[in-house]
């Protein structure tokens, strides 16, 4: 079994700053300590790393923590990052040395985990709340290649590509090209699951056209939002993360909430 831990919506601010009275830097430290006990094989950071758009100092802080992160045996844990709407993809690529995966102003790529039966991992860029025609064309080519093989796949994208019964976010900050991206996702025969952030909630939705594929929204490291409220209402100040286990043919996941001090 291969274990991926997803963290999302860190919103790291300047040292000493507490957005919405939350110690966001302390939350990252607390979550990483909790994640260490999960003994992950891979860490995925799925967007909104910075509090202020594209803050390179915030990226340096996060990278320092991720580069130093080890599992319970003291082994370094590899990680991948994608951009959210509070990030600038070009700055993120520069800070994490991902220039080869920067396409114009978008950071998207795929990863094959060497020597395992782990699904192919797709990392899409929805930093602008949408995806470009170029990114869609790239993804369409990769989907066609996937469909000629027997490989399975997992997709990570910051914005859920479908509405997820989160009233405030669905209304004010939805993904804008679901009509273009969702059919491509549904056509990927080996797709097992889609993992997102952005909504600051634990939520799940069906992928239209694919009863076997779910869109999973993972809680934020900053704070959680009341899914039923029409305005932005904070429902929980504890950070969360998601543990994803896969043997290639199956994928399961579970959310964990960390009792971090955030007052």
Q: H or E segment at 164?
A: none
Residue 208 phi/psi, 5° resolution?
-55, 135
Average model confidence (pLDDT) for the chain?
96
In order of start, what are the domains of the chain with their CATH numbers? Answer: 2-257 (3.60.21.10)
Query: Could you list the pLDDT tens digit for every one of the 263 residues in the chain?
Result: 999 999 999 999 999 999 999 999 999 999 999 999 999 999 999 999 999 999 999 999 999 999 999 999 999 999 999 999 999 999 999 999 999 999 999 999 999 998 778 999 999 999 999 999 999 999 999 999 999 988 899 999 999 999 999 999 999 999 999 999 999 999 999 999 999 999 999 999 999 999 999 999 999 999 999 999 999 999 999 999 999 999 988 999 999 999 855 44
Stated length of the chain: 263
pLDDT of residue 117: 82
39 backbone φψ class: left, alpha, beta (φ>0; ψ -120 to 50): left
């Amino acid at each position: 079994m291969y274990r991926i831990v997803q963290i999302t919506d860190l919103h790291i601010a300047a040292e000493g700053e507490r957005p919405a009275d939350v110690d966001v830097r302390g939350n990252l430290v607390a979550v990483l300590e909790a994640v260490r006990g999960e003994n992950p094989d891979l860490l995925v950071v799925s967007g909104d790393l910075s509090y202020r758009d594209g803050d390179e100092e915030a990226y340096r802080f996060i990278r320092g923590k991720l580069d130093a992160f080890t599992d319970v045996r003291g082994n370094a844990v590899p990680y991948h990052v994608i951009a959210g709407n509070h990030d600038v993809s070009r700055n993120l690529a520069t800070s994490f040395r991902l220039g080869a995966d920067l396409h114009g102003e978008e950071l998207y790529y795929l990863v094959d985990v060497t020597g395992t039966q782990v699904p192919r991992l797709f990392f899409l860029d929805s930093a602008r709340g949408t995806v470009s025609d170029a990114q869609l064309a790239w993804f369409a080519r990769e989907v066609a290649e996937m469909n000629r093989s027997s490989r399975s796949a997992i997709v990570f994208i910051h914005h859920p590509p479908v509405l997820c019964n989160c009233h405030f976010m669905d209304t004010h900050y939805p993904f804008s090209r679901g009509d273009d991206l969702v059919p491509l996702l549904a056509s990927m025969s080996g797709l097992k699951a889609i993992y997102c952030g952005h909504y600051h909630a634990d939520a799940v939705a069906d992928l239209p056209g694919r009863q076997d594929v779910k869109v999973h929204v993972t809680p934020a490291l900053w704070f959680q939002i009341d899914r039923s409220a029409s305005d932005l209402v904070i429902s929980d100040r504890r950070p969360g993360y998601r543990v994803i286990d896969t043997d290639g043919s199956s994928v399961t996941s579970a959310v964990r909430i960390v009792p971090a001090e955030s007052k």
